Amino acid sequence: MHGKLTSGKGLEKIESPRYIIFGPNAINHTMDILYNLGMTGTAIIVSGSSITAKIAEDLTSSLDGEISVYHVVTAGGRINDVMKVIEEALKVKADFLIGVGGGRPLDVTKLAAAKLGVRYTVVPTSASHDGIASPAVNFSLSKQAELKFGDSINGMEAPTAVIADTNIINRAPLIAFKSGFGDLVAKFTAVRDWELAYKLKDEPYSEYAASMSLLSAKIAMDHASEIKFRLEESTRILVKALIGSGVAISIAGSSRPASGSEHMFSHALDKISEREGVKSAPHGIQCALGTIMMAYLQGQDWMWIRDKLKKAGVPTTAEEAGIKPDMVVKALTIAHKIRDRYTILGVSGLTPRAAEKLARSTRVIQ
């Protein structure tokens, strides 16, 4: 069990993974890593239902004998899945958790580990967002957890180890890579929003975390045109950059360096999609569109950002992303209300006319 330590005035806490290993066949080193970290005894391995379940099964058999492993398959990454993992973990007296998956199984693992007060390791199977190395979880699930657990989860911990096998990640669909690239581009507007909140609202700010987040995004930008070819080397760059961004979140102790108005736009789109019963576009793709528009509002070089996205084959228009134009406009008008986070959207947000003008000026809608 962990003692819960929160930051106070003058006291800073940095939570970061102890082991990050990535490269071809990294997964084969799981046992050694767990052993070195003293993560032995009984583990729950959490995965999705299809491809990630198979990877989790293979991993389970490779650990067999040394560690007692119980496999929990999650359905949709909702709060019920978190409860299922917690129940199973309590039943078998699990010492730690292992999350295997692209996004949702990792989020479920993080929340269950936080509630149980145990350590966890993540084995990402795609490079679609920066949650692979950070304590942060998907916004909607974190809201559900807040309702369910209240204050009983106090502070999310970073994964103890991140094991990113680029052979496995390279088998993920191309859209996952594009989404990961989009989530990295988002750092340009997120960091700018954070600076603004620091200057106008005296919010805590870490120059170190901000620089690290921007550096991750810049590294990915330099290799924009290689992303779409899904070579092992470009996958490695993308994974490294996403891990860097995740570590920046860990250092800041908040998702501020990675998530600003462009993420609020994406969350707003999720909300509207859910209400209308349509499937959302991938997280990083929505963030990419948000970044183009927020960069415009911030007076940043939005055309340069759009150009990099195009080079990486990431959609830069609502049409390419499969999102209805009126949903983009609507999302822009409600994005400021999504969470209590000061950004370029201010406290009153955009009027419908200003929102439409913004989307048209940046050619996100025609």
Which positions lie near Zn ion, rule CB under 5 A? 129, 183
Euclidean distance between CA atoms 303 and 334, whole angstroms: 24
Cβ proximity to Zn ion: between 138 and 144 the closer is: 138
Report how far residue 178's alpha carbon sits from residue 281's, in angstroms, rounded to the nearest whole number.
12
- Of residues 60 and 291, the one with the C-beta less far from Zn ion: 291
Residue nearer to Zn ion on the CB measure, 157 or 270 = 270
> Is 113 or 285 the residue whose CB approaches Zn ion more closely?
285
As a dihedral over the C-alpha atoms of residue 306, residue 268, residue 127, residue 237, rounded to 10 degrees, the angle is 30
- Among residues 45, 49, 32, 61, which one has the least CA distance to residue 94? 45
- Name the residue nearer to Zn ion (CB basis): 95 or 183: 183
* Cα(169)–Cα(192) distance, integer angstroms: 30
Q: Which residue is nearest to Zn ion (CB)?
A: 183
Dist CA 286 CA 181 (whole Å): 11
Helices 79-92 & 139-149 angle (0-180, nearest 10): 60
Measured between its terminal Cα atoms, the distance across the chain in Å is 54
Nearer to Zn ion, 81 or 183 (CB): 183
φ, ψ of residue 22 to 5 degrees: the values are: -145, 155
**Least distance to Zn ion, CB of residue 254, Å:** 13
Nearer to Zn ion, 97 or 249 (CB): 249
Question: Token match 């947000």: residue?
Answer: 349
What tokens does 291 get?
């970044």
Task: Compute the least distance from the CB of residue 255 to Zn ion, in Å.
Answer: 8
Measure the CA–CA gap between 106 and 133, rounded to whole angstroms.
Answer: 10
Q: How far is the CB of 106 from Zn ion (least distance, A)?
A: 13
CB of residue 259 to Zn ion, shortest distance in Å: 6
Residue 188 phi, psi dihedral angles, 5° rounding: -65, -40
CA distances from residue 189 to 158, 254, 283 in whole angstroms, order as listed: 24, 16, 16
Between CA 266 and CA 274, with CA 272 as vertex, the angle to 5 degrees is 105
Distance in Å, CB of 16 to Zn ion, minimum: 18
Minimum distance, C-beta of residue 142 to Zn ion, in the bound complex (Å): 12
We find the least distance from the C-beta atom of residue 169 to Zn ion, in angstroms, to be 17
